[in-house]
Structure 1
Amino acid sequence: MTVYDVARALPGIEELRDRSRGLAMLDAVLSPAWEGRYYSFDAHWSETEQLASMKDGQGGEYTIVLSPAGAFARVFDHESPLSPYGPLADGATWPGVLDGVPDAFREYLTEPAFLDEDDVHVTTACLWREPADTAWRTGPVAFPDLDGHPDPDGSGRLLHLLVDGTPEAYAEWAADYYETPVAIEAVRHVLALRPLTPELVAALNADVTLEDLAEDIAEIGYPAPRP
């Protein structure tokens, strides 16, 4: 799988936004400690932008900027043969990865949060979608020999739960990552963005209360609990 396959499989902007908020809320419940979370969502990244992000703690990450201009996504897999730090890329973003980015998203090519100390864009896959687009777009990437690299740019693995947005996919992943069974009906409730209840939170994590999640709910822009 490459970024081209992922571009065909990702949902539209609004569905991706909702999946991202649901994933972030689930991780907030299951991992009260911020450093243990994979998924996050900042509904107030700027006055006009929201940021969905993932860090796997092992050098893999993505960030997706959501704005009135659409969505701009960057993926970085440190094990990818396309990594700027690998032997093939010679310290630069892989050719084609950032080519064709429209003017609406050009500012993200120099966004400090996406650059290293040498101003190299830390990206192995890039996708974008404007509101009028009917599909996600990518640059014209020429991949190296793919033998032994079924996911050469990391997009398939790192964007997996955005591509497969089913509760079952998240529950399987979370049970493995958090090493505990995960209540599938509670996952289904959160991914549908239904307001949290004390009972639902307890079903996911008995050590967390609804009150503990107030700041996370506000940051994620998740629907507020019913009074």
Structure 2
Amino acid sequence: MATISTQDLSQLPGVAKLEALLQSLAMLEAILCPEWEYRYYSFNAKWGKGERMGSMRNGSGDEFFALFNKYGCFLKGYEHECQFAKRPELGSQLYEGVPQPLKGGVTEPAFSPENVTFCLWRAADGSHWEHADFKLPKGKDPDGSAYLLSHLDGNPETYCQFAEEYYEVEVDPEIVAAIYEHQPLTKPMATGLNADADWKDIKADAKRSLTRCRA
């Protein structure tokens, strides 16, 4: 399977599936990492009127933000060590062509619009992801997109491997798969991933991300 990047976006899920995936990732993070500021993924189902937002921050300066609305999805990322990061004057070019209904993402202060190494968008009924027409610098991952988007292949095993590396814990792949499928989250599922999980807090996080949850 090809690595997801701006050079090959064929494996990046469509808008609805990407939103569901980011909800699942945020829920897994809420279970494994109670402290919000240390979570890798988060999701806010009430970001703005008619808007939802999923994000990734690794604590080292790398991040992406995905803004969802009825038109589709705007996704911008920043990888601080890639070649594009060393040429901030190119940033504005990456936003060229963003459809008007998604341009709120370009100017949203919370997304640090001045920090961008790649930008993608797709209409809800669109057949493919789009980006500005420009020539990438030479290199294996010149804009950091492969590094930041690699977890978004929709494969639960990808998250299991990530959790083992990032949190240094082994997680039950069946529970991860169930959360990927948006099965109702139960307390045994949560404690099956983290024995110290606070069920009250997790229910609050599930409400924030609109993930189904039951005691």
Same fold (TM over 0.5): yes
Task: Between 134-143 and 45-54, report the one with greater CA deviation.
Answer: 134-143
CA contact (8 A) 1:96 1:142 kept: no
1:106 alignment partner, one of 103, 107, 110: 103
SS at match of 1:133: coil
Aligned partners of 2:116, 2:68: CA distance in 1, in Å? 18
Q: Does residue 208 in structure 1 map to residue 197 in structure 2?
A: yes
2:160 alignment partner, one of 161, 171, 190: 171
1:121 alignment partner, one of 114, 124, 128: 114
SS at match of 1:3: coil
Q: Cα offset for 1:95?
A: 6.1
Instruction: Give, as a single letter, the amino acid of the residue that structure 1 aligns with 2:138.
Output: D
Alignment of 1:134-153 (within 5 A): 134-146=127-139, 150-153=140-143
Q: Give CA deviations for 1:30-51 in whole Å, capped at 9, x if unaligned.
A: 0011122100000000121000
Residue 92 (structure 1) aligns with: 89
Identity percentage of aligned residues: 35
Residue 77 (structure 1) aligns with: 79
1:157 alignment partner, one of 147, 159, 162: 147
Report the TM-score, using the length of structure 1 for normalisation: 0.88
Q: Cα offset for 1:29?
A: 0.1
Note closer, same or farther for the CA distance 1:198–1:114 as it changes in structure 2 (3 Å cut).
closer
- Structure of higher CA gyration radius: 1
1:218 alignment partner, one of 184, 202, 207: 207
Aligned partners of 1:107, 1:47: CA distance in 2, in Å? 12
Q: Does residue 46 in structure 1 map to residue 65 in structure 2?
A: no
Runs of 4+ in 1 over 6 A off after TM superposition: none
SS at match of 2:68: strand
Q: Give CA deviations for 1:73-96 in whole Å, capped at 9, x if unaligned.
A: 00100011101xx2xx2x424463
Q: CA RMSD in A?
A: 1.6
Q: Cα offset for 1:132?
A: 3.0
Aligned partners of 1:183, 1:223: CA distance in 2, in Å? 19
Report the TM-score, using the length of structure 2 for normalisation: 0.93
Task: Between 207-216 and 46-55, report the one with greater CA deviation.
Answer: 207-216
CA contact (8 A) 1:109 1:121 kept: no
How many residues get paired? 212
Aligned partners of 1:159, 1:145: CA distance in 2, in Å? 19
Point out where structure 1 has 5 or more consecutive residues left out of the alignment.
none
Residue 8 (structure 1) aligns with: 10
Aligned partners of 1:47, 1:105: CA distance in 2, in Å? 13
